[in-house]
């Protein structure tokens, strides 16, 4: 990434990303930046471009989380295994912690 945070945030916090083509582009890794710019160049002005920017803005924000891919993989594994997760577990963030029984 070309832009790096000045000082670390608390776990789960991320640096704000400007919701502009240039702002989003700066926070994406090279491979995703190329895909983003290719999609932007092909989008028409209006709802299509708005939705595209919203999705990539979220990608740029969530991409700052260092354990994002591991958390995502664990969530997919739990979903595929059919493990039931209570609403309380979700509220407390328990399903993403390593100390959960597998």
Is pTM beyond 0.75? Reply is: no
Closest CA to 5 of 71, 86, 60: 60
Flag whether 1 is in a domain: no
* Pair 72, 54 in one domain: no
**Tokens read off for 82:** 């059919």
> Could you tell me if 82 and 102 lie in one domain?
yes
In a domain, 43, yes or no: yes
| Other CB atoms within 10 A of residue 75 CB | 13
Range of the domain at 49: 21-62
Same domain, 56 and 25: yes
Contact predicate 27/3, CB 8 Å:
yes
Domain count, the chain: 2
> How far from chain centre, in Å, is Cα 62?
2
Question: pLDDT tens across 15-68, in order?
Answer: 889 999 999 999 998 989 999 999 999 999 999 999 999 999 988 988 887 777
Is 44 in a helix, a strand, or coil? Answer: coil
Q: Is 3 a domain residue?
A: no
pLDDT of 86-97, one tens digit each?
778 777 775 555
CA dist 71 and 68 (Å) reads: 5
């Amino acid at each position: 990434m070309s832009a790096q945070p000045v000082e670390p945030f608390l776990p789960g916090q991320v640096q704000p990303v400007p919701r502009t083509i240039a702002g989003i582009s700066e926070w994406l890794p090279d491979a995703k930046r190329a895909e983003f710019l290719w999609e932007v160049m092909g989008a028409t002005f209006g709802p299509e471009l708005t939705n595209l920017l919203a999705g990539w803005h979220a990608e740029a924000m969530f991409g700052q989380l260092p354990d994002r891919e591991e958390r995502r993989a664990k969530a997919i594994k739990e979903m595929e295994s059919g493990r039931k997760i209570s609403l309380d577990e979700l509220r407390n963030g328990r399903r993403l912690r390593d100390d959960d029984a597998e």
